[in-house]
């Protein structure tokens, strides 16, 4: 098995104040996306299988992500799409 090596630039560039402000502005969306991933994990690992509550948890998390995304967009923020 071959080991993957990750190489970084020789010069590490710290995030700028603008970068940090962008992260802060998107923090509610980031939290919502984390909750969605956690709900999806619970759904696919449910034994013996997912329940109605598991499905509701995913739908609520999806709705929250959409609300946060729309809130950012209505505030004029451009949100970069992430591969789904």
Predicted TM-score (pTM) of the model is: 0.74
- Nearest Cα to Cα of residue 62 among 41, 82, 32: 32
pLDDT tens for 44-55 read 999 999 999 999
Render the burial of 31-62: b for 16+ CB within 10 Å, e for the rest: ebbebbeebeebbeeeeeeeeeebeebbeebe
pLDDT tens for 2-56 read 777 767 666 778 899 999 999 999 999 999 999 999 999 999 999 999 999 999 9
Instruction: Please say whether the beta carbons of 59 and 35 come within 8 A.
Output: no
Helical pair 27-45 and 17-25, crossing angle rounded to 10 deg: 50
């Amino acid at each position: 098995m071959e080991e993957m090596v990750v190489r970084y630039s020789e010069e590490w560039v710290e995030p700028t104040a603008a970068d940090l402000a962008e992260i802060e502005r998107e923090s509610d969306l980031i939290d919502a996306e984390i909750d969605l991933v956690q709900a999806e994990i619970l759904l696919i690992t449910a034994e013996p299988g997912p329940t109605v509550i598991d499905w509701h948890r995913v739908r609520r998390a999806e709705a929250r992500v959409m609300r946060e995304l729309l809130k950012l967009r209505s505030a004029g923020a451009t949100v970069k799409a992430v591969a789904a």
